[in-house]
């Protein structure tokens, strides 16, 4: 019977955790929590011999049922930001009721935990979930994950190679971007080994980069001159609004850019190397993979 349960298993991070776990333990030890077992990603997971358990963060009873017999729960933070606070509370309470032994939670890198943070809307659920886990009595491992390296092209802009400009109000702030794959390998190792009980890890890169440095790297890799322009927030809002970008999207990107500018994501760490024995993919390596040729 499965003793490790992966939530968010149909998502981009969760799928990678399942795959990484399969190289470390038998499929019969793993269960995947999914909302829709017919979803392509769920069918693929089931095809690898992993048991599917249907549940939703919004449905408490379904969670208690899905968590039965589970000793280690990999809890992927919800993606429905306006509604995830009660969802996360459900997950922690259900884990307690079902007798889960250890919860590994995908939290969020940050420095400023007050409402003055430009990313307070994202950070709130993580900060509260960490507190609920710590007071629940369940063994926890908190993975304070930095921004996904996989999403760097979104920050640079889809047309960066055509325009030659990275346009983002992130100032001189640096970010320790980490790929989902490296985060997944770290999680899989933690889920199958000891020594990570009641620990919080900064899941971040060995070196953080500013967007000026990213522009320099990208110029060197592609041979094309790429400039970094950090506009004022007002100018950024006006430019993107005129370009037809929806207000909600502008606010989210502006918030993250401001967070970067204020140093929220500048932490570095060697945790991935220490736990997995492999260095995480760096920003220059990633840029070469995506933009060279
Ligand atoms: P993703 O591809 O959107 O996957 C989210 C997963 O959560 C999916 O499996 C989804 O299930 C599941 N889920 C969402 N709401 C749920 C609910 N109510 N009940 C049960 N499952 C639910 O996101 P990702 O790329 O894997 O990232 C994982 C998480 O990291 C996100 O959810 C978000 O909290 C956070 N995040 C971090 C960054 C970063 O840069 N560090 C960026 C974006 C997001 P379905 O397949 O059924 O939809």
Summarised one tens digit per residue, pLDDT across range 173-225 is 999 999 999 999 999 999 999 999 999 999 999 999 999 999 999 999 999 99
Phi-psi region of 269 (alpha: psi -120 to 50; beta: other; left: phi over 0): beta
pLDDT of residue 89: 98
Residue 34 maps to which CATH number? 3.40.50.720
Distance from Cα 81 to the centre of ligand 1, integer Å? 10
134 lies in the same domain as 158: no
pLDDT of residue 101: 97
Pocket test for ligand 1, best of 5, 43, 62, 76 (most atoms within 8 A of CB): 76
Q: Which of 124, 145, 166 is the last residue of a domain?
A: 145
Pocket test for ligand 1, best of 79, 94, 259 (most atoms within 8 A of CB): 79
- Mean confidence (pLDDT) of the chain: 97
pLDDT of residue 225: 97
18 lies in the same domain as 139: yes
Q: Mean pLDDT over residues 87-105, rounded? A: 98
110 lies in the same domain as 24: yes
Find the residues whose C-beta lies inside 6 A of ligand 1.
8, 10-14, 35-36, 39, 56-58, 76-80, 87, 106, 145, 147-148, 151
Residue 239 maps to which CATH number? 3.90.25.10
Distance from Cα 94 to the centre of ligand 1, integer Å? 19
| Beta strands 51-54 and 4-6, pairing class | unpaired
11 lies in the same domain as 98: yes
274 domain-assigned: no
Q: Which tokens in the block code for residue 129?
A: 């979930």
273 domain-assigned: no
Ligand 1 atom showing the smallest separation from residue 146 Cα? 41
Distance from Cα 77 to the centre of ligand 1, integer Å? 6
CA angle, 242 then 151 then 266, to 5°: 100
Atom 5, ligand 1: which residue's CA is nearest? 11
Strand partners, 74: 6, 104
Residue 293 pLDDT class (50, 70, 90 cuts):
confident
Rounded to 10 deg, the angle between the 211-222 and 283-291 helix axes is 40
Task: Summarize pLDDT for 231-247 with one digit per residue, the tens.
Answer: 999 999 999 999 999 99
The secondary element (H helix, E strand) that includes residue 168 is none
Q: Mean pLDDT over residues 83-99, rounded? A: 97
Q: Which of 97, 128, 145 is the last residue of a domain?
A: 145
Ligand 1 atom showing the smallest separation from residue 180 Cα? 25
Segments forming the whole domain that contains residue 246: 146-179+203-267+280-293
> Does the pLDDT of residue 272 top 90, yes or no?
yes
195 domain-assigned: no
Please give the tally of structural domains in the chain: 2
30 vs 15, 138, 165, 229, 234, CA distance in Å? 12, 20, 45, 46, 49
Q: Which tokens in the block code for residue 32?
A: 């995947």
Three-state DSSP class for residue 278: coil
141 lies in the same domain as 162: no
- Contact between residue 70 and residue 139 where contact means Cβ atoms under 8 Å apart: no
Report the b/e string of 122-142 with b at 16+ CB within 10 A. bbbbbbebbebbeeeebbbbb
169 domain-assigned: yes
Task: Summarize pLDDT for 33-88 with one digit per residue, the tens.
Answer: 999 999 999 999 999 999 999 999 999 999 999 999 999 999 999 999 989 999 99
Pocket test for ligand 1, best of 9, 10, 11, 130 (most atoms within 8 A of CB): 11
> Does the pLDDT of residue 258 top 90, yes or no?
yes
165 lies in the same domain as 113: no
Q: Which tokens in the block code for residue 117?
A: 């943070």
Q: Which tokens in the block code for residue 163?
A: 């325009």
The secondary element (H helix, E strand) that includes residue 152 is helix 152-156
Number of CB atoms found within 10 A of residue 82's CB: 7
The reported pTM is 0.98
């Amino acid at each position: 019977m499965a003793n490790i349960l992966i939530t968010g298993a149909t998502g981009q991070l969760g799928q990678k955790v399942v795959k990484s776990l399969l190289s470390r333990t038998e499929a019969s030890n793993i269960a995947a929590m999914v909302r829709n077992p017919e979803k392509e990603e769920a069918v693929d997971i089931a095809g690898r011999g992993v048991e599917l358990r249907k549940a939703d963060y919004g449905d408490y009873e379904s969670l208690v049922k899905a968590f039965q017999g589970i000793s280690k729960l990999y809890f992927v933070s919800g993606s429905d930001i306006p509604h995830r606070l009660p969802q996360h509370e459900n997950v922690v309470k259900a884990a307690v009721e079902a007798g889960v032994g250890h919860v590994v939670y995908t939290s969020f890198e940050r420095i400023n935990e007050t409402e003055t943070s430009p990313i307070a809307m994202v950070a709130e659920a993580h900060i509260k979930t960490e507190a609920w886990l710590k007071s629940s009595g369940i063994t926890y491992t908190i993975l304070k994950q930095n921004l996904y390296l996989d999403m760097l092209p979104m920050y640079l802009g889809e047309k960066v190679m055509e325009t030659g400009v990275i346009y983002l109000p992130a100032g001189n702030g640096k970010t320790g971007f980490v790929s989902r794959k490296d985060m997944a390998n770290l999680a899989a190792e933690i889920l199958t080994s000891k020594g990570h009980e009641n620990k919080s890890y900064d899941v971040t890169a060995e070196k953080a980069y500013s967007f000026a440095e990213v522009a320099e790297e990208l110029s060197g890799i592609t041979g094309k001159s790429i400039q970094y322009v950090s506009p004022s927030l007002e100018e950024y809002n006006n430019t993107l609004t005129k370009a037809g970008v929806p207000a909600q999207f502008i606010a989210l990107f502006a918030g993250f850019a401001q967070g970067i500018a204020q140093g929220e994501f500048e932490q570095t760490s060697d945790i991935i190397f220490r736990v997995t024995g492999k260095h995480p993919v760096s920003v220059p390596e990633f840029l070469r993979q995506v933009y060279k040729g």
